[in-house]
Structure 1
Amino acid sequence: MITPTDDDKEEVLLAGRYGDLDDVRGFVSKFGSGPLADIRDENDNCILHMVCGNGHLDVLEYLLPLVPSSLLAAQNSAKSTPLHWAALNKHLPVVQKLVEHPNGPGIDLIDIKNAAGHSPLGEAELAEWEEGATWLVKMMNLDAEGGEKEVGGAEDAVGPEDVEVQIEDADGQIAKMSISGGAAKAS
């Protein structure tokens, strides 16, 4: 395989940004998938930042089997991951695909904080994206008091109508969220 030039790298990042699946496929045909993991723009954004920030699910689905799973947690110069960008821009199918990717970091992605101290959940809340924040809270690994996970049979199961979550943002502000009947309500 030949090595991509700086122009080739810039073009594939733009193809990711604009959702041009044919151009991304063309790059992979010409250079293989290996270079995709190392390509960054001037702000240290990778191809997944571009794809996820702009909600291009088809390109994401094409790329996920080709890139190392560590790229899902890649942080740019502001320490934001592709999940931060997807949450900020309210792209639920992309958020779901990133968190649920079988070979990826999974729910641990939700806990990564950017330079501003925000997790992807925090970005969803700042964007006033209730649907995404609700989904992320449901996916989170919430521990019982004392740091131990609650484990039990069906008689110990807690339905979504019984869940209330308090989240502290980087400024120390507390946001309360109740999940009731499958829907979240901020208080």
Structure 2
Amino acid sequence: MSSSSTPPSLKFEEIDDLLYFTRVNEGQDLQQALTELSQKYQCKPRDVLEACVDSETGNTVLHYCSANGFDALLQSLLAHLNSGEPNKAAGGKTVGSLLFNAKNQQGNTPLHWAAYNGHLAVVKLLLAAGADMWIKNAAGHLAMFEAERADKSEVVQYLLEAGGREVEKTGTEGQASAEDEADVQNGEASGSNGSAVAGASEDVSMGEAEPSE
């Protein structure tokens, strides 16, 4: 089955089901729903996942999976998303899926949520899959800063080390600013204003990722 050129137009209840199965870590139900929807819309599961976006929050399956630390479920999703096919929307690069860097309405990527909640295993999986650690949310914060704000020291240290390796690469394609590079080299995870702690007006709520009642 060839991949569709554009994501399918999923119905509200279809999106709701996919997001619910992700929030409650029901991998079997999620896989069954993906199979049924890919057959219904004559596309690949990857296309279905990329079309599954909450219209109110902008959250995706990766946001909820990452926020809750479901690393096993994330690995199963990566099997669909990392198809190895060039993604035209990413300049022809084989990035697996644009979901890795998808921003919700507050500018948070799945990596922001995983970092904020201290889910190191998920952070590692996302970075290995191609997530961009230099993306800032609406408050101008990197994922490593959100981890620091939540006192997730292991995640902060890992992201600082990962950032340092990227900065040291010759001809790196990362999107780190000069300020971000300096912070990483100095072992800091500052916000956009260079302070260790952001003011309340600069904070962006990370939202709730728990199952709905």
Q: Give 3-state SS (helix, strand or coil) of 1:65's partner.
A: helix
Shift of 1:28: 1.3
Structure with more contact order per residue of length (Cα contacts < 8 Å, sep ≥ 6): 2
Rounded to whole Å, the distance in 2 between the matches of 1:93 and 1:19 is: 16
Shift of 1:164: 4.2
Aligned equivalent of 2:61: 47
Structure 2, unmatched stretches of 5+, are 2-7, 39-44, 82-95, 172-184, 198-213
Which one of the candidate residues 149, 167, 184 is aligned to 1:126? 149
Aligned equivalent of 1:155: none
Aligned equivalent of 2:135: 112
Opposite residue 120 of structure 2, the aligned amino acid is L
CA 1:44 to 1:3, structure 2 compared with 1: closer, same or farther past 3 Å? closer
Rounded to whole Å, the distance in 1 between the matches of 2:138 and 2:106 is: 5
- Which deviations, in whole Å up to 9, do the C-alpha atoms of 1:32-54 show, x marking residues without a partner? 21221011111101110011111
- Which deviations, in whole Å up to 9, do the C-alpha atoms of 1:49-101 show, x marking residues without a partner? 01111111111111112124211000111111000000111111000000012
Aligned equivalent of 2:125: 97
Does residue 31 in structure 1 map to residue 37 in structure 2?
yes
Does the Cα contact within 8 Å between 2:189 and 2:196 map onto a contact in 1?
A: yes
Shift of 1:120: 0.5
CA 1:117 to 1:4, structure 2 compared with 1: closer, same or farther past 3 Å? closer
Does residue 135 in structure 1 map to residue 158 in structure 2?
yes
When Rg is computed on C-alpha atoms for both structures, the one with the higher figure is: 1
TM-score normalized by the length of structure 1: 0.74
Count of equivalent residues: 155
> RMSD of the alignment, in Å?
2.5
Opposite residue 195 of structure 2, the aligned amino acid is Q
Which one of the candidate residues 21, 33, 50 is aligned to 2:27? 21
% identical equivalent positions:
30
Aligned equivalent of 2:75: 61
Higher strand share: 1
Does the Cα contact within 8 Å between 1:88 and 1:120 map onto a contact in 2?
A: yes
Rounded to whole Å, the distance in 1 between the matches of 2:50 and 2:126 is: 16
Does the Cα contact within 8 Å between 1:84 and 1:120 map onto a contact in 2?
A: yes
Rounded to whole Å, the distance in 2 between the matches of 1:125 and 1:166 is: 9
Rounded to whole Å, the distance in 2 between the matches of 1:30 and 1:91 is: 31
Aligned equivalent of 2:192: 170
TM-score normalized by the length of structure 2: 0.66
Which one of the candidate residues 18, 23, 39 is aligned to 1:12? 18
Does the Cα contact within 8 Å between 1:83 and 1:98 map onto a contact in 2?
A: yes
